[in-house]
Structure 1
Amino acid sequence: MQNFHLTLADISPTSASQMFISTDGVFNSRARVLGGGSSINAGFYTRASASYIKKVGWNDELVNESYPWIEKQIVHKPDFGPWQRAIRDSLLEIGVSPFNGFTYDHLYGTKVGGTIFDRSGRRHTAAELLATANPQKLHVLVHATVQKIEFDTSGKIPRAVGVMFKDENGNTHKATLSKIPESEIIVSSGAIGSPQLLLLSGIGPKKDLQKMNISVVVDNKYVGKGMSDNPLNTIFVPISNRTVKQSLIQTVGITKQGVYIEASCGYGQSTDSIHCDHGIASAEIGQLSTIPPKQRTLEAIHEYRRTKRNLPHEAFKGGFILEKIAKPLSKGEITLANTNIDDNPSITFNYFSHPADVAKCVKGIRMVEKLVRSKHFAEYTQYDQGMVEKLLNMSVKANVNLIPRHTNDTESLEQFCKDTVITIWHYHGGCHVGKVVSRDYRVIGVEGLRVVDGSTFNVSPGTNPQATVMMLGRYMGVKILRERLGKGAGV
């Protein structure tokens, strides 16, 4: 757990995370490791709401079988410490109630959720779910990278027949489906990778594919469109006279104002560079920096990292209050930058382009202000006034996001939201149900191909999506097997 930020900071070719910068200027990460996002995230585990499940049309009974299947294997109750207790009590004090205790359920109020980190801090990922599979029927190629999906276009409807992939040495191979009619390819490459792979395989907007000299298999204008990323804005809380044990997300306030409030702390309690340097791809950008998104060039970030040494020690001793926009209305898109699957496509999220998202952020920042000033939080924020002034009056190149000076000024808060926006890695969309895939996740216009992952979500489920992404994998696996058995096919 303590190396969470170091993984995101690693930008080497062999890193488990692959950094990308959206055209908005926001630094982000995607996973390139077995286990996907569960291998690099902050570990928080919470289910989607009952209303979400009903809206997307999932079978309640199978959903309620699939979540526990995940939870029994890799989910744990968090080691709940003083910082998280203060967050819990402060949320209740400012009216984010009732307290729903420890629960995986998505309920209005304040709750403590699960975690995929065990009590010793060891991460448990979706990859471990493979342990329950039949090893005689499973082959995992860890270093294989799919280049494109191949189709048989001789019939009325194109049919997926195999994939081209490269091994760790760069050699190309082809995996072909068996002749069994039920055989199919299931793509689960995430909200970035799945639409990218469909585009590279010839499924997408015709004019975009032709620009890249890609043969068109299906002209579908919706592939890669409707991308969303939940905007995150944070407030840094310097902590004096206390040593606070590191904790990632454990407590969440699910508000009726359309924002979620979470908290983390303890990232670096010394000036040692290993503890202080969260890396250019981490949540530090926006938290300890006031570089607006469009100015977050690599050169600007590297300059910030150099000048960061001017920050006082207090800037690294504290925690962050996180305010995430639920169900953002701002939408973007993915388009191909080139035809190399290893490279990131061009990604735009259009953060805060919809005024409703900006209004939610303003409400959220005002709620965070109340939380930080609450009596239950007082013991963490009783620091010397001289130190506060020292933090407030630093140069722009080495600034810290404390509570904005003028929270009554709506226009100033709107600008604060836009200037300090970062990601919480909950991007979704690009292969929406009803537009790119059907309700059973079959790719529209072809046979033998499904997409099952967060690219199919119109809205990020719950406060944090990983529980539902993993649940959906189990849900669809069982559903597909039951359909095959119902048809008398072998499993």
Structure 2
Amino acid sequence: MFSLSRSMKPLLSLTLLATLLPISQAALFTSPDQLPTTEYDFIIVGAGTAGNVVANRLSEDSSKRILVVEAGIDDTNVELIEVPFFGPNTPQSIVDWNYSTTPQSALNGRTIPVPRGFVLGGSSNLHYMVWNQASEDLYDSYAQKTGDSGWAWEAIMPLWKKISTFVASPNNPSLPPPPANNPSLSNGNGPVQVNFANFATDIDFRVVNSSKELEASGAGGGRFKFTDDMNAGDSIGFGFNQESAGGGTRSSSATAYLHPALNSRSNLDVLIHTQVMKLKETSPLTFTAVEVAQSADGPLTTLTATSEVVLSAGSIGTPQILLLSGIGPKDELAQVGVESTFDLSHVGKHLIDHPLVLTYYSVNSNTTFDDTIRQSDLFASTLELWEDERKGLFSTSSTNVIGFMRIPQGEGANDPSSGPRSAHIELLFTNGFAALGDTKQPDEGHFLTVIAAVVSPKSEGSLTLASAEGGTFTHPNIDYGLLTNEFDLVAIQQALRDADTFLNATPWTSPSPYIIAPFGDWAIARDGTDADREAYIRKNLITVYHPVGTAKMSSDSDATGVTDSRLRVKGIKGVRVVDASIFPSIPECHPQGPVYTVGEKGAQLIKEDHGLA
């Protein structure tokens, strides 16, 4: 949530170049020619959040050979993703696919970035590490929509406990686990490390105490409540953010699931720098082979799975591969010259992301992170502290406290959330100027950033092929359809009003005002009319980088689905989808936790269907 000054970019670039030197690692290949075989039991497309879970779990059966094909680079020793604070600088970098949307009509024709992980670990290496489980209502709604009780909260919880372990934050002793509800209880004993923020800021307890004050006063109808643990089934409330990190370093699906298996099991191979161009039909309506390449016009290699191909390429990559394989809306495929192999009309549809707007305030503080970002010597010493001891500002995410709320206008038949324990909106608080989107870091001053997001949006878009030429090396058309449903605009306006209420609580105003004034264009919009605020939203809105839904699962009788409740692609054989594209609705939270859950669930289903140990 920051941008590096020009003087600091060479420093970070040199650090990154040093980390990208070739590293010898068993069973990690950089070319299809290096593979010991072209036939495996299972081929997993994408070494991302869910794909690495599947790779780890399937390779537990030593009788099966597993191949993971990843388009991006090795994650080993890349500081850009290891340093928790650097998360906001991963978009449009060497670890990003660098996608962008089509012009968004409701955003004045702007295009916005669509960051997706181009690295082992996928997007678990790009986000800001917020660790949410989602509510009971979300999983119960998935069970209802698919007609499969195996997706209900009670059935999912044993899988959730296999994913993460809550660890202490040794560098932030002011944040012990709350005695009322220890977060270790909402985690388990899995490989992903989860902790509270590892570096305290001046705003942390301002947020917590504001929530408690407003809850006690009944402000906003009691919607500002404090929660000890938003991962215990009811996700509503303000509190300390759990994040996927441990010991001052990011914990990703690569570090937690992939590398431990890769370094200890001889039946797992990983191929990087290689893109899957399409699925290949091995018998009528059976697709158990993939065609891969390392450049758009490079040689093609066919790799075969004797059991299944598992698509874990994410909400952008998975539908694109299906479409390039002729699996999708027949009429749309014909327009770009792709021969239809199976007319599955909703591939690429129902694309949805969480929209957000950033607001800025000048503050009476010199402890924000602004000076660290602007001053090269301070930046260098802070990085050195992290490198030597894994301590300091860079040892944690830039957001320690968050809050999830419901809005009065969202109740009733038009409520898009999965239930009363799920949120409509989210507020995030950052101790500095979070320069996301087109906003630039100010040359001077100290700031508070308040981010308002809609976590149960109604607006949907779609993904379509821009061309059949170049395969997956040609980026698809990504249309989020942002703000095309009026609910989303209403919700974000409500979030901004709630932020106003929140920042007028006593912890921000007494004994002396913490906030000096709104900053930049937000100063005009905040004190202006509803039309001024709407104009600000349309000019500045981006997303939280959480695209889902493009291969959504549904019941067998629901024709709007792409996958069934066992994650098999409907109407064909040999292909299963295990990633965020299968969500029937967007999780009302930061979805990395639910995506890990999909990985564990998918691995469980594959093992059951193929009799794996």
The TM tier, using the shorter chain, reads 0.7 to 0.9
From 283, 296, 319, the equivalent of 1:195 is: 319
From 270, 274, 277, the equivalent of 1:144 is: 274
Percent identity of paired positions between Structure 1 and Structure 2: 22
Asked if residue 88 in structure 1 is aligned to residue 208 in structure 2, the reply is yes
In the TM superposition, what is the alpha-carbon distance from 1:345 to its structure 2 partner? 0.9
In the TM superposition, what is the alpha-carbon distance from 1:381 to its structure 2 partner? 8.7
Distance 1:380 1:260 in 2: 28
| C-alpha contact (below 8 Å) 2:315/2:581 kept by paired residues | yes
Query: CA 1:186 to 1:381, structure 2 compared with 1: closer, same or farther past 3 Å?
Result: farther
Distance 1:403 1:225 in 2: 37
Where 2:317 maps in the other structure, the secondary structure is: helix
Deviations 1:95-125 (A, max 9, x none): 44432214533422223232112342x1110
**Which residue is 1:415 aligned to?**
535
Deviations 1:257-306 (A, max 9, x none): 121112223358xxxxxxxxx5xxxx243xx3xxxxxxxxxxxxxxxx6x
Where 2:85 maps in the other structure, the secondary structure is: coil
Where 1:377 maps in the other structure, the secondary structure is: helix
Asked if residue 29 in structure 1 is aligned to residue 195 in structure 2, the reply is no
Distance 2:163 2:512 in 1: 39
**Which residue is 1:108 aligned to?**
236
Distance 1:62 1:137 in 2: 30
Asked if residue 55 in structure 1 is aligned to residue 141 in structure 2, the reply is yes
Asked if residue 252 in structure 1 is aligned to residue 402 in structure 2, the reply is yes
**Which residue is 1:265 aligned to?**
431
**Which residue is 1:117 aligned to?**
245
Query: CA 1:219 to 1:17, structure 2 compared with 1: closer, same or farther past 3 Å?
Result: closer
From 123, 130, 144, the equivalent of 2:258 is: 130
Counterpart residue identity of residue 76, structure 1: V
Distance 1:381 1:137 in 2: 63
Where 1:127 maps in the other structure, the secondary structure is: helix
**Which residue is 1:275 aligned to?**
none
From 391, 397, 401, the equivalent of 2:522 is: 401
| C-alpha contact (below 8 Å) 1:222/1:436 kept by paired residues | yes
Where 1:135 maps in the other structure, the secondary structure is: coil
| C-alpha contact (below 8 Å) 1:231/1:422 kept by paired residues | yes
Where 2:302 maps in the other structure, the secondary structure is: strand
Asked if residue 3 in structure 1 is aligned to residue 86 in structure 2, the reply is yes
From 336, 356, 361, the equivalent of 1:232 is: 356
TM-score (norm 1): 0.80
Asked if residue 164 in structure 1 is aligned to residue 244 in structure 2, the reply is no
| C-alpha contact (below 8 Å) 2:211/2:226 kept by paired residues | no
Map 1:162-311 → 2, pairs under 5 A = 162-167=289-294, 170-178=298-306, 183-244=307-368, 247-257=397-407, 258-266=424-432, 283-285=436-438, 288=439, 311=442
Q: Which moved more, 1:474-483 or 1:228-237?
A: 474-483
Counterpart residue identity of residue 207, structure 1: D
* Unpaired runs of at least 5, structure 2: 1-83, 105-110, 144-150, 166-190, 216-222, 370-392, 408-423, 555-560
**Which residue is 1:294 aligned to?**
none
Counterpart residue identity of residue 330, structure 1: S
**Which residue is 2:575 aligned to?**
449
| C-alpha contact (below 8 Å) 2:433/2:449 kept by paired residues | no
Counterpart residue identity of residue 238, structure 1: S
Query: CA 1:381 to 1:29, structure 2 compared with 1: closer, same or farther past 3 Å?
Result: farther
Query: CA 1:416 to 1:248, structure 2 compared with 1: closer, same or farther past 3 Å?
Result: same
| C-alpha contact (below 8 Å) 2:112/2:437 kept by paired residues | no
Deviations 1:459-486 (A, max 9, x none): 222410000101110122023213333x
| C-alpha contact (below 8 Å) 2:194/2:244 kept by paired residues | yes
Query: CA 1:444 to 1:16, structure 2 compared with 1: closer, same or farther past 3 Å?
Result: same
In the TM superposition, what is the alpha-carbon distance from 1:27 to its structure 2 partner? 2.6
In the TM superposition, what is the alpha-carbon distance from 1:224 to its structure 2 partner? 0.8
Distance 2:433 2:201 in 1: 15
Query: CA 1:329 to 1:421, structure 2 compared with 1: closer, same or farther past 3 Å?
Result: same
Counterpart residue identity of residue 374, structure 1: A
Distance 2:260 2:157 in 1: 19
In the TM superposition, what is the alpha-carbon distance from 1:451 to its structure 2 partner? 1.0
Asked if residue 330 in structure 1 is aligned to residue 423 in structure 2, the reply is no
Distance 1:318 1:379 in 2: 18
Deviations 1:39-84 (A, max 9, x none): 1110110102101111111054542122222212223222354322
**Which residue is 2:551 aligned to?**
431
**Which residue is 2:179 aligned to?**
none
Deviations 1:116-158 (A, max 9, x none): 12342x11101121245462221111222111110134x4xx0
Deviations 1:20-43 (A, max 9, x none): 233212233111111111111101
| C-alpha contact (below 8 Å) 2:211/2:225 kept by paired residues | no
Where 1:234 maps in the other structure, the secondary structure is: strand
Query: Number of residue pairs matched?
Result: 428
Asked if residue 471 in structure 1 is aligned to residue 597 in structure 2, the reply is yes
Distance 2:511 2:282 in 1: 64
| C-alpha contact (below 8 Å) 2:282/2:289 kept by paired residues | no
Query: CA 1:381 to 1:446, structure 2 compared with 1: closer, same or farther past 3 Å?
Result: farther
Counterpart residue identity of residue 212, structure 2: L
**Pairwise CA RMSD:** 2.6
Distance 2:333 2:536 in 1: 38
